[in-house]
Amino acid sequence: MTHAPIRLAITSLAAILLASCADESALTVLKKSSLNADAIFGRSTRNAKFDVPTPSPETVAASLEKPRDRHKMPLYGYDVRTRVVRTTAYTHTEADHLIYGRKNAAGTTLRYGDKVRSAAADWSIYPVGTTFRIKGLPYLYVVDDYGSALVGTGTVDLYKPSMSVMNAWGRRNVELTIVRWGSQKRSAEILKDRLHAAHCRRMFASLLRQREDLQQLARR
């Protein structure tokens, strides 16, 4: 008889625990996918939204007489700093980037900070180190990467820390302003050791056509 109160207490405690577990609102479940980018960058990157204004009518009008790339987007010379540019997005977890991890083509780490972020482009159009801003966004972007699909186009590929943020950006035309041009010489120096890749050969050849003084790099 002395065990009856103990059994009653145990039964009551079990009922309380089961009731609390049945209440899903009392539980916080963290998915693995939500830990990736947040753990690396220390901020919420899920459900990212980008409110970017369209290019100004003046910038669009100035682009109409420019030659076009295969995406029917204008190609500019180095004398034009504010331009209409097609942008895409990529991340380090895409299948074709897995072997490089978070390393960029310049040999450093891809950046996605509150002030500076990485971008990829054709280095014969936007040499490594080129720094730019996108109208409506507070970041400085630095070209420190390239991609085979970008060669021969004016497209700029913006680095994003996760697939969800990459997809949220998608593809969009923006108004881009060059803050500082990168180095054609440094671009050629990096590319000359990678001429086994067709896209690197194309960028290297384009740089040599623009700068005769870089021809000596081809002979080293």
What is the homologous superfamily of the domain 57-182 according to CATH?
RlpA-like domain (2.40.40.10)
d(CA 181, CA 64): 23
Residues 156-188 pLDDT 10s:
999 999 999 999 999 999 999 999 999 999 999
Per-residue confidence at 217, pLDDT binned at 50, 70, 90? confident
Answer whether residue 42 shows pLDDT above 60.
Answer: no
**What's the pLDDT tens digit per position in 75-89?**
999 999 999 999 999
Which of the residue ranges 4-18, 97-111, 153-167 has the most confident prediction, judged by mean pLDDT? 153-167
Confidence of residue 14 (pLDDT cuts 50, 70, 90): very low
> What is the pLDDT at residue 33?
33
E runs forming strands in 93-190: 116-120, 131-134, 140-145, 156-159, 172-180
Q: Per 3-state DSSP, what percentage of the chain is helix, strand, and coil (rounded to 5)?
A: 35, 20, 45
Task: Report the percent of the chain where pLDDT is more than 70.
Answer: 77
In this predicted model, what pLDDT tens digit does every residue of 46-61 receive, in sequence order?
A: 445 678 999 999 999 9
The DSSP bridge pattern shows strands 156-159 and 140-145 to be unpaired
Domain layout of the chain by residue ranges = 57-182
Check residue 220 and give its pLDDT: 65
Would the pLDDT of 45 be above 80?
no
DSSP assignments along 58-79, one per residue? HHHHHHTTS-B-TTS-B---TT
DSSP letter, residue 135: T
| Environment class of 83 (CB within 10 Å of its CB; exposed 0-12, middle 13-18, buried 19+) | buried
82-90 and 156-159: which strand pairing?
parallel
**Stretch 145-149: mean pLDDT, rounded?**
96
Return the pLDDT at 49.
67
- Average pLDDT value over all residues in the chain: 83
Run of H or E including 50: none
Exposed / middle / buried, residue 11 (Cβ in 10 Å: 0-12, 13-18, 19+): exposed
33: its two tokens = 């996918």
User: What count of Cα atoms within 13 Å lies in the side-chain half-sphere of residue 127?
Assistant: 20
> Of 17-21, 54-58, 138-142, 185-189, which range is least confident?
17-21
- At 100, the pLDDT band (50, 70, 90 cuts) reads confident
